[in-house]
Amino acid sequence: MKDIVIASNNKGKINDFKVIFPEYNIIPIGDLIPGFDVEETGTTFEDNAKLKSEAA
pTM, two decimals, is: 0.77
- Name the burial class of residue 7, with classes exposed (0-12), middle (13-18) and buried (19+) by CB atoms within 10 angstroms of its CB: buried
User: Angle at the Cα of 14 (from 19 to 23), degrees rounded to 5?
Assistant: 40
Average of per-residue pLDDT values in the chain: 94
Residue 29 near residue 9, CB atoms below 8 Å: yes
Give me the tens of pLDDT residue by residue for the chain, a chain 56 residues long.
899 999 988 999 999 999 999 999 999 999 999 999 899 999 998 999 899 889 88
